[in-house]
Chains A and B, each alone.
Chain A
Amino acid sequence: MFSAAETEALRVSLVVATGSVLVSLPLAVGVAWLLVRGRFAGRTLLDAFVHLPLVLPPVVVGYLLLVLFGVRGPLGGWLHATFGIRLAFTTAGAALATAVMSFPLMVRAIRLSLEGVHPGLEEAACTLGAGPLDRFVSITLPLMAPGILAGAVTAFAAGLGEFGAVITFASNIPGETRTLPLALYTAIQSPDGDRAAARLAALSLGLGLAGLVGAEWLARRLRARLGP
C-alpha cells in the first residue's frame, strides 16, 4: 500500500515527534510551574519568550537554531567539541526544531491544568509532613496529569507535521530528517509524484485525527478518575 520511502518517512516522523515530546516535556512542566506559581520579575518576559514560536515564521526559528546549534554556532560548537554531538542536519536536530515549535502548545495545556490545582491541597500535604519536592510529586503532578497528557499528545500530533523549522535546521535527508510533510513536499516537487503526495497527505490526516481523538479519550478517562 505504501512504498518503502513512504514508510521510512512515517518512521522518521514518529521518531522525531516522540523525541521532541520526550525532550520538551520535563522542561514544559518546569516552565508552566514557573509561570503559574513563580513570583519573579521576568515572568511576563518568560511568558512572551515561550510563546514566540507561535508568532514567528518557522523558517526564522530554524534559522536561529542553525545560528545557535550549528557546528560553528556557540552552543552547537560546544556540544560538538565536548560530547561529539552534532544537531544540525540530523534526526536529533529535527526533533529539537520540532520541540521548539510545539513547546508553546505543550506549555499552554500544562499551565491550564496547573492553574486548576488548588494550592490549598499542597498546603494540606505540607501540614501532613510532605516537603516541597514530595508535595510536587505526590500531589501536584498527579493532579496535572490530564493537562500533561493533553499537552504531550497535542505536541506529538503537531510535531508530526512540523515543516519549516525542520527543513531549515535539519534539511531534507531521506531516512534522517525527511518526515511526512517533507516527503510530501518532495513528492509535489517531482513531476510524477501526484499519487504519492495524495497518499502521504491522507496518512498525515489520519495520524492527526487519531492523535486528537486519542488525546480527548485519554483526557476524559483521567478527568473521570479525578472527579468533578
Chain B
Amino acid sequence: MFEAELAAERGSFALRARFAAPTPGVIALFGPSGAGKSTLVNAIAGLIPATGHVRLDGTTWLDSATGTCLPAQRRRIGYVFQDARLFPHLDVAGNLGYGERRAPPAPRIAVRDEIIALLGLGPLLARRVHALSGGERQRVALGRALLAQPRLLLLDEPLAAIDAARRGEVLPYLESLRDRFAIPMLYVSHQYEEVLRLATHVLLLAAGGVLASGTPSELSLDPRLRALVGGDLVGAVLEVEVGAVDPATGLSSVAVGQGRLRLPLAGARLGARLRLHVLARDVILATAPPQGLSVRNALEGTLAELVNEGPDEALAIVDVDGSRLIARITRAAVEELRLQPGRRVWTLVKAASLRGHVFTRATPREAGLAPP
C-alpha cells in the first residue's frame, strides 16, 4: 500500500493531496497541465519541502507528526524525469552505473545485464549521451533509475519530450518493466491512452488536489474523468480474459457478464488478460435483440443511467451483469426509443472498432499481441 497526505507550496500554487493506492502496480497520476502532478511527485521524492506523511509498504519517508523526514538521497526513489537529465560528462555506461554504485549491495532486484537486455541498451553503452535520440535517452534514464534498486519508481511524463511517432519505442519497455518487476510505479501523464496502457490504479488530479481515485474501470464511469478526457475518448474500460480463440476467423472472444465480445486479435493466447477501451461513440443501443446486422457483438443489459451531454447528445450507461458500458446516443434517439433507466437494452459493439483500443495486462508476447 502506498499512502500519502501532502501539503506543499510552490509560489502561489498550493498542493493538498491525499490518497492511498495498492502496491505493487502502476499508479497513474492523471490530470491537466497545472493540476500539480509534478509538484506532487517532487514532494513524494523529497525534492521540495512538504508536510504530511508518505508511507510505502510500512516504510515511512515523511511524517510531520513525528518529525520524520528522510532526505531525498535516502528515500531510494527511482525518478525518471520528463527531460531524462542524463549526466553529460558520463557515457551511457557511466550513467547506468551512477545509482548502481550508490545502492545498498543487497538485495538487488534489478541486475545490470538483465536491465541492459530488457531495455535494449547494449549497443548504446559506450555512447555519449548527447548523441542519443529522445527515446534512447528515456530508456537510459529508466535503466539508470532501476539500477539504483529503487523501492518506488517515479515517472514524470517520461514520454512528453518525445515526438508521438517515437513514443511507441518506449511504451512497450514500460509495460515489460511493470510485468517483470514488483517495483511500485507512479506514472504521471496527461495522455489518457498511456494511462490505459499502463495503469493499475488511477488518481485524478486537479487544482492541487486528488479529485478521484480508483481502478481505470471505475474511473472510466466517473463524470469528472469524462470531463477531462473529452468527447471522443469517453468510453467504458473493461478488464477481460481471452476465453476462446478462433484461428479461422482471427477473432478471440472474451466474456462480459453472460455475453461475449468478439475481438479482432489474431493469435491471442487463451487466458490472456486484456483491457478493453470501448469508446462510447462506437456503441449502438437497441431495444430488441438485433437481427440481420453485420455487428457480431450484442450484449444484453439494463439501462442504468442517462446523462445529458450538450444540447443534442446523451450518454447511456448500460449494466451488463455488473460490467458497465457507455453509449453515446442522440437525445432524439432517447425520445424515439423511450429510453429510461431500468429498460432492457442490447449494446452493439462493432469488433473492428476495438482495434487499437485493446491493451494487455501481461507482456505483449504473452498476450500474443505484437508491440506497436
A residues with a Cβ closer than 8 A to B are 118, 120-121, 123-131, 134, 138-139, 142-143, 145, 225-228
Contact = CB atoms under 8 A, between A and B. Distances in A.
A227 B78 contact: no
Contacts, number: 69
B85 A121 contact: yes
Contacts of B145: 127-128
A227 B88 contact: yes
Contacts of A121: 85, 87-88
B148 interface: yes
A128 B144 CA distance: 8
Given A120-B81, A120-B83, A131 B88 contact: no
B85 A120 contact: yes
Contacts of A138: 98
A129 B81 contact: no
Given A142-B89, A225-B89, A131 B83 contact: no
Report, nearest first, the 7 A-B pairs whose CB atoms are least far apart.
A227-B130, A128-B99, A129-B102, A127-B79, A124-B85, A142-B89, A126-B72
Contacts of A125: 87, 98
A118 B82 CA distance: 14
Contacts of B71: 131
A228 B130 contact: yes
Interface residues of B, number: 29
Interface string B128-153: 11110000000000001100100000
Interface of B: 45, 47, 71-79, 81, 83, 85, 87-89, 98-99, 102-103, 128-131, 144-145, 148, 154
A124 B79 contact: yes
Contacts of B98: 125, 128, 130, 138
28 contacts: A118-B85, A120-B83, A121-B87, A123-B81, A124-B79, A124-B85, A124-B87, A125-B87, A126-B73, A127-B45, A127-B72, A127-B77, A127-B79, A128-B73, A128-B78, A128-B98, A129-B74, A129-B76, A129-B148, A130-B98, A130-B102, A139-B89, A143-B88, A143-B89, A226-B88, A227-B88, A227-B129, A228-B130
A134 B79 CA distance: 18
B73 A124 contact: no
Nearest to B76: A129
B89 A226 contact: yes
A65 B48 CA distance: 44
Nearest to A228: B130
- Of the listed residues B73, B77, B103, the one surrounded by the most CB atoms of chain A closer than 10 A to its CB is B73
A129 B72 CA distance: 8
Contacts of A124: 79, 81, 85, 87
A123 to B, nearest CB: 6
A165 B335 CA distance: 96
Nearest to A121: B85
A226 B81 CA distance: 20
- Of the listed residues A123, A124, A226, the one surrounded by the most CB atoms of chain B closer than 10 A to its CB is A124
Contact of B47 (A127, A130, A228): A127
B47 A123 contact: yes
A131 B73 contact: yes
B38 to A, nearest CB: 12
A142 B91 CA distance: 13
Nearest to A118: B85
Contact of B102 (A120, A128, A142): A128
A121 B144 CA distance: 13
B103 A129 contact: yes
Nearest to B82: A120
A31 to B, nearest CB: 23
B47 A126 contact: yes
A83 to B, nearest CB: 39
Contacts of A130: 73, 98, 102
Contacts of A118: 85
B72 A139 contact: no
Nearest to B85: A124
Nearest to A138: B98
A225 B87 CA distance: 12
Contacts of B148: 127-129
Given A127-B47, A127-B77, 13 more contacts: A120-B85, A121-B88, A123-B72, A124-B85, A126-B72, A127-B72, A127-B73, A127-B148, A127-B154, A129-B74, A130-B98, A139-B87, A227-B129
Contacts of A226: 88-89
A8 B128 CA distance: 47
A218 to B, nearest CB: 15
Contacts of A127: 45, 47, 72-73, 75, 77-79, 145, 148, 154
